[in-house]
Amino acid sequence: MATYGYARVSSASLSLTIQQEALKAYGCEIIRSETHTGTKVEGRTELETLLQFARAGDRIVVTRIDRLARSIIDLCAIVRRMETAGIVLVAIEQPIETSTPAGRCFLQMLGVFAEFETEICRERQLLGIAKAKAEGAYKGRKPSIDVARVRELAASGMGGTAIAKELGVSRASVYRLLGTDRKTVVAAA
| Ordered per-residue pLDDT tens for the chain, 189 residues | 999 999 999 888 899 999 999 999 999 999 999 998 877 888 899 999 999 999 999 999 999 988 988 777 888 889 889 999 999 999 999 888 988 888 888 877 877 787 788 889 889 999 988 898 888 888 777 777 888 889 899 999 998 889 999 888 888 888 888 885 444 444 554
- pTM to 2 decimal places: 0.60
Q: How far is CA 14 from each of CA 9, 34, 37, 93, rounded to the nearest angstrom?
A: 6, 11, 12, 19
Q: Give me the torsion for CA of 153, 158, 161, 165, rounded to 10°.
A: -50
Per domain, the residue ranges of the chain are 3-118, 147-188
Sign (positive or negative) of CA dihedral 155, 158, 164, 168? negative
- Our answer to whether residue 13 is catalytic in this structure is no
Q: Could you say which of 10, 71, 99, 173 is catalytic?
A: 10
Architecture of domain 3-118: 3-Layer(aba) Sandwich (3.40)
